[in-house]
Amino acid sequence: MPLPRFHRLPPDRQRAIIEVAKAEFAGHGPDAASYNAIIATAGISKTSAYQYFDGKDDLLGLVLSDVVDRLRHQLGTWKPVTTASEFWTGLRRDSAGLTQFLEDNPLDRALADAALARVPADEDNTWLTEVLANGIDLGIVRTDIDRDLLTAATAAVLRVGDHWALAGGADPDQIFDLLAGLWEPRHAH
For every residue of 55-117, DSSP letters joined together read SHHHHHHHHHHHHHHHHHHHH------SSHHHHHHHHHHHHHHHHHHHHH-HHHHHHHHHHHH
User: What tens digit of pLDDT does each residue of 122-157 get?
Assistant: 566 788 999 999 999 999 999 999 998 998 899 888
Asked if 151 and 128 count as a contact pair (C-beta separation under 8 A), the reply is yes
Query: What type of residue is 180?
Result: A
Of 73, 67, 59, the residue nearest 2 (C-alpha):
59
Residue 188 has pLDDT above 90, yes or no: no
Q: What is the mean pLDDT of residues 155-178?
A: 81
Q: Which fold has domain 4-65?
A: Arc Repressor Mutant, subunit A (1.10.10)
User: What tens digit of pLDDT does each residue of 23-61 get?
Assistant: 999 999 999 999 999 999 999 999 999 999 999 999 999
Residues of the chain with CATH 1.10.10.60: 4-65
Residue 82 has pLDDT above 50, yes or no: yes
- Going from the C-alpha of 77 to that of each of 162, 167, 184, the distances in angstroms are 18, 26, 23
